Amino acid sequence: MMLGNIDMTDKIREECAVIGTSLKCEEAAGVVYNGLLALQHRGQEGAGIALSYNQSIIVEKDIGLVNEVLTEKVLATLPKAKTAIGHARYSTTGSNTIKNVQPFLTEYLTGRIATAHNGNITNAKQIRSMLEKEGLDFSATSDSEVVSSLIAYNVIIQKDLIKGVVEGAKILCGAFSLVLMTGDKKLVAVRDPHGFRPLCIGKNEYGIAVASESCALDSCGFDFVRDVKPGEVIIVENGDITYSNVELTANKQGLCIFEYVYFARPDSIIDKLSVYEARFNMGRMLAIEHPVEADVVCGVPDSGLEAAMGYAYQSGIPLVSGFVKNRYIGRSFIYPSQLQREHAVKIKLNPLRATIEGKRIVLVDDSIVRGTTSAKIISSLRSTNVKQVHMRISSPPFRHTCHFGTDIDNEKNLIANQLSIDEICQRIGADSLGFISVEGLKKACSKSSLPFCTGCFNNDYGTNSVKMSKYMLEE
């Protein structure tokens, strides 16, 4: 199905993943590699690593998945290092080309920094114009290159790393979780004052790591310590935190609530709330807000599974596995053509006839954005002779654009702005359809230490929303 004139799959695309480590031993490359593998779900278009070595910074990056870019052969060529940062990319600003893959290396007269960024800088075009007037050159079309250059420029002006980072970050508008590394092996972590995107700290006997999600810390053998506070700047040297302070302030804070719905891995903890617990609670709220008589509950793998557990728990309807997932293909959106994406959806999930045939099913998924995938999944269930399919969605209908790190850039392409709930239900072939309410979603996530940005659902953003194009730096 095509909505508007654009072929898209029925999921919001992820932002990016960042990770950095400062150790007392020379194992930083392995830590960053393993962490990026754990964070691969956040970005599948490009990957890279930067290491601080002999007062220099070595960068290895390319288009592709982490294990395609950082192959065994490539890893063997990297020097031993105590400090490194890494990035897995989904392009929210700038085309998917190698010049836009992170980390970005910025060299200046007195030093160099490498930068990895998760989020979207809404005033990147204005900042780049300002820096170009100061004589800086740009080769990429990513807002992350602008961030790296801005920080480097302010370090020169301030003649101090902390002051340069703080003064540069004060100019940035939008969402940013940053890890930076200097040529003299300092690691810097910064989270924007709104707290749009997650960033957390881990520690072990060898040093410190910072990452987009705690699941990466777990996979690398670090104990989760805490989340980076909104507006906080952290400096790590030789495996120890030497500076931490909230330097940036905002009138309103708001974590992107879709981190809990879909983006993050269920084994992560974000701002003191388990992602698994949040999704389980979403299912419970769905059962309260949209009850139905049915024989079984099943979730759409993977991000619908925990909400399905919650729905079954609250409703008392038995939970079953409704699908077998093919684990050997990527997420459907990475395929370059619409025909390939359609075939990928068909081979990715196969209904498990033994558990659902002849049954009335509550089918739980995380979202309906454009309606394409939901229709295909329900059609596949109908082929197993199910009696009814009652679809329940653990996020409210998407109605508004987002410019803080996701790809909702045109409200005309959102099915909820084209059809009523009943019409969507008919379009996807369900017997009934229920979305969690915004208040129900907030209640499910109420243990989070931060309030939420829910702008894509109700136009209530954590800050002023700025209309911008993904390709604004190419225009």
CB 217 within 8 A of CB 224: yes
Question: 365 exposed, middle or buried (CB, 10 Å; 0-12, 13-18, 19+)?
Answer: buried
Q: Please say if the pLDDT value at position 97 is more than 90.
A: no
Q: What is the pLDDT of residue 4?
A: 30
* Close Cβ partners of 409 (under 8 Å, ≥ 6 residues apart): 401, 402, 403, 469, 470
Q: What is the pLDDT of residue 178?
A: 98
pLDDT tens digit sequence for 369-398: 888 889 999 999 999 999 999 999 999 999
To which residue do tokens 């508004």 refer?
400
In which order are the strands placed within the sheet that holds 296-299? 296-299, 360-365, 388-393, 432-435
User: What are the beta bridge partners of residue 224?
Assistant: 202
Q: What is the pLDDT of residue 298?
A: 98
CA distance 130 to 464: 22
Structure tokens at 273: 């709330």
Whether residue 16 lies in the annotated active site = yes
Structure tokens at 110: 């007195």
Which helix (H) or strand (E) segment is 243 a member of?
strand 240-246
**3-class DSSP assignment, residue 65:** coil
The mean predicted confidence, pLDDT, of the chain is 90
User: Nearest CA to 399 among 361, 445, 368?
Assistant: 368
Looking at residues 358-370, what average pLDDT do you find? 95
Question: 328 exposed, middle or buried (CB, 10 Å; 0-12, 13-18, 19+)?
Answer: exposed
Q: What is the pLDDT of residue 13?
A: 57
- What's the DSSP call for residue 80? P
Structure tokens at 444: 């499910």
User: Nearest CA to 246 among 318, 166, 126?
Assistant: 166
* Pairing state between β 232-237 and 240-246: antiparallel
User: What are the beta bridge partners of residue 297?
Assistant: 319, 362
Q: What is the pLDDT of residue 2?
A: 30
Which residue in 16, 402, 445, 453 is the catalytic one?
Answer: 16
Q: Please say if the pLDDT value at position 75 is more than 80.
A: yes
**3-class DSSP assignment, residue 68:** helix
- What's the DSSP call for residue 262? I
User: Nearest CA to 66 among 48, 78, 84, 42?
Assistant: 48
CATH homologous superfamily of domain 17-250? Aminohydrolase, N-terminal nucleophile (Ntn) domain (3.60.20.10)
Which fold does the domain 269-450 belong to in CATH?
Rossmann fold (3.40.50)
CB 261 within 8 A of CB 367: yes
Looking at residues 21-35, what average pLDDT do you find? 98
Q: Please say if the pLDDT value at position 401 is more than 90.
A: no
Q: Please say if the pLDDT value at position 67 is more than 50.
A: yes
Q: What is the pLDDT of residue 344?
A: 60
Most distant pair of Cα atoms in the chain: their distance: 72
Q: Is pTM, for the whole model, over 0.75?
A: yes
CA distance 381 to 247: 53
Q: What are the structural domain ranges in the chain?
A: 17-250, 269-450
pLDDT tens digit sequence for 193-252: 999 999 999 999 999 999 999 999 999 999 999 999 999 999 999 999 999 999 999 999
pLDDT tens digit sequence for 266-280: 999 999 999 999 999
pLDDT tier for residue 404 given thresholds of 50, 70 and 90: confident
**3-class DSSP assignment, residue 288:** helix
Does residue 10 have a cis peptide bond before it, meaning omega lies within 30 degrees of 0? no
* Close Cβ partners of 420 (under 8 Å, ≥ 6 residues apart): none
CA distance 241 to 234: 7
Q: Please say if the pLDDT value at position 347 is more than 80.
A: no
pLDDT tier for residue 23 given thresholds of 50, 70 and 90: very high
Looking at residues 335-345, what average pLDDT do you find? 58
- What's the DSSP call for residue 251? S
pLDDT tens digit sequence for 415-432: 999 999 999 999 999 999
User: Nearest CA to 8 among 407, 459, 420?
Assistant: 407
Q: What b/e string do you get for 214-233 counting C-beta neighbours within 10 Å, with b at 16 or more?
A: bbbbbbbebebbebbbbbbb
Q: What is the pLDDT of residue 332?
A: 43
pLDDT tier for residue 18 given thresholds of 50, 70 and 90: very high
pLDDT tens digit sequence for 228-243: 999 999 999 999 999 9
pLDDT tier for residue 329 given thresholds of 50, 70 and 90: low
Q: What is the pLDDT of residue 319?
A: 98
